Amino acid sequence: MSLVQLIAHADERGLAASGLACLDRCVPLLGGDDEILRPLWSTLAHPADADAWASRLARVRGALAGPGEPGEGEAALLARRMLAAAPSEPSAAGLRVWADACSLAALRIHRLLDPAGEDVPEETGEAGEAGDAGETGDAEVTGGGVRGGSPLVAAELRRQTAVLELLAEHGTGGLRRAHEVTTEGRRVLRAVVSRRARGRG
């Protein structure tokens, strides 16, 4: 199935994992450390606990949702909006809207950070070998969504698809691998953000 179809058919856990994974990969733009969203990931391993999700989300917002920096770019603003839009009540309807919005925002962020002609860090595939970041080709997702198949965008599209497929096929059992996919994506984006910062310095 396409990414749009996977989101449309996902259950509550899959939708929460999808939105959370997109946000987690973009945490470097918010100045967060690699463990900041782990408490939210842990809620997905158990039967739905709305109180645990809401309280942990509030703590994450308190740690990350500070005022934007002067001159902050569009990519960071999009990441802040992803966090702000996370539903406090993890219902299927609210999570589906969030997952869809996070998908498009994350793809937009990766496109903004991957200007034409700029090299991007190499990522590793499941077998531990370098993957082809452009193998997904055209990264257009919806008629009004992201267009273009730059390497960083194509890799993000592939990760989003992988997370949803893992949760659809394995349920709770797919969470660990989904988190690994997300961790790899965050590492790549952190390297891109750091390099851009050095280039401006």
What is the band of 49 on the pLDDT scale with cuts at 50, 70, 90? confident
Dist. CA 47–CA 163, nearest whole Å: 19
| Angle of helix 74-85 versus helix 92-112 axis, rounded to 10 | 170
Which of 26-35, 66-75, 171-180 has the lowest average pLDDT?
Answer: 66-75
pLDDT at 150: 86
pLDDT of 114 above 90: no
Query: Residue 31, Cβ neighbours under 10 Å: how many?
Result: 13
pLDDT of 64 above 80: yes
What is the band of 16 on the pLDDT scale with cuts at 50, 70, 90? very high
- For the chain, give the mean pLDDT: 83
Query: Residue 69, Cβ neighbours under 10 Å: how many?
Result: 9
> Is residue 130 helix, strand or coil?
strand
pLDDT of 69 above 60: no
pLDDT of 36 above 90: yes
> Of all helices (H) and strands (E), which one includes residue 183?
helix 175-200
What is the band of 50 on the pLDDT scale with cuts at 50, 70, 90? confident
pLDDT at 78: 95
pTM given for the model: 0.83
State the average pLDDT over residues 3-31: 96
State the average pLDDT over residues 165-177: 96
